[in-house]
Amino acid sequence: MSAPADPLAALLEGAPASCCAEIYELPAVRWLLDGQLHPGGRELTLRAAQLAGIGAGSRALDVASGAGTTAMLLAGELGAQVTGVELGAEAVARAGAAAAERGLAGSVRFLAGDAASLPLPEAAVDAIVCECSLCLFADKPAAVREMARVLRPGGSIVVADVTVAPPGLPPALRTAAARVACVADALALEGIERLLRDAGLGLQAAERHDDALAAMARRVDARLRAARMLRVPALEPLRPQLEAAVELSREVRRAIDGGVLGYALVAARRPG
């Protein structure tokens, strides 16, 4: 049986997680997220950059760079030299074009690549940020080892991601659709810290920002409910799954309110 042509349908039918890069480029998904692809938006990106020590002249890496928003922020506001690595080739091309339009072509570049096999040499960067993406990686330990490999001795990495607390997720949040929502494959905070330690990194800080996740969930839920009543052109491709999406949103908010789902920034340093 051939795979569905629509990437959203493909992922919802259980296709490999590599489809996630395409999913987040769909107009329907970007409309739902209102252009903010991770909790906390610009404010938490700048906080992650602060924890990673990113400033003028820093060689920074944005793993799973998507549309390039974070990379361009680090370059444009902090003066860093930034490389963004993203699995989706189309996203890489669009991010490069956006950087050129903003006059940032000399300080930002985007490369197509897998987080588990980064297209960079050892010790190539001073700092790394990875926002709301570790939960989507098929091989999380390999991805963290790769980040440690390309980080210079003494450099820092900040992972910002959804976290899961005991007793764990209900069945409704372990589906393929929940994987796209950065929920089904999320780790406990201790699990993220363990991956960083196992890669030879020393933990520096862990900050909880559950309120940022709750705010994002409320925003998405409001847009989904509005879309159910209105004919939003961007959301028409999602209409067959709209009721399921509303129910998933309800389950996510319930898990956040119950303290099962949260969001954290975790900083670690490569010894050197």
The answer, yes or no, to whether the previous bond of 167 is cis (omega within 30 of 0) is yes
- Separation CA 208–CA 270 (nearest Å): 22
User: 């570790």: which residue's tokens?
Assistant: 134
Residue 203, pLDDT score: 98
Is beta strand 59-63 parallel, antiparallel or unpaired with respect to 125-131?
A: parallel
CA 76 to chain centre: 20
Q: What is the per-residue pLDDT for 246?
A: 82
Cα–Cα–Cα angle for 172, 165, 39, nearest 5°?
A: 80
Cα of first residue to Cα of last residue in the chain, in angstroms, is 52
Give just the sign of the alpha carbon dihedral 251, 256, 261, 262: positive
Q: Of 188, 165, 186, 159, which is closest to residue 45 (Cα–Cα)?
A: 159
Element (H, E) at 110: strand 108-112
Q: pLDDT tens digits, residue range 205-224?
A: 999 999 999 998 888 888 77
Beta bridge partners of 264: 161, 208
Place of tokens 């699995």: 87
Domains and CATH numbers, the chain: 7-269 (3.40.50.150)
The predicted pLDDT at position 8 comes to 43
pLDDT of residue 21: 54
pLDDT given for residue 223 in this prediction:
77
Upper half-sphere CA count for residue 234 (Cβ side, 13 Å) = 15
| Residue written as token pair 């919802």 | 12
Question: Average pLDDT of each block of 10 consecutive residues along the chain (272 residues)?
Answer: 41 44 58 70 97 98 95 98 93 95 97 97 98 94 98 98 92 81 90 98 98 91 74 65 81 94 98 92
Total-model pTM: 0.86
In terms of Cβ atoms closer than 10 Å to its own Cβ (0-12, 13-18, 19+), residue 41 is middle
pLDDT at position 180 is 67
22 in Cβ contact with 112 (< 8 Å): no
Tell me, what's the pLDDT at 52? Answer: 98
Q: Which two tokens stand for residue 168?
A: 């764990």
The C-alpha atoms of residue 195 and residue 203 are separated, in whole angstroms, by 10
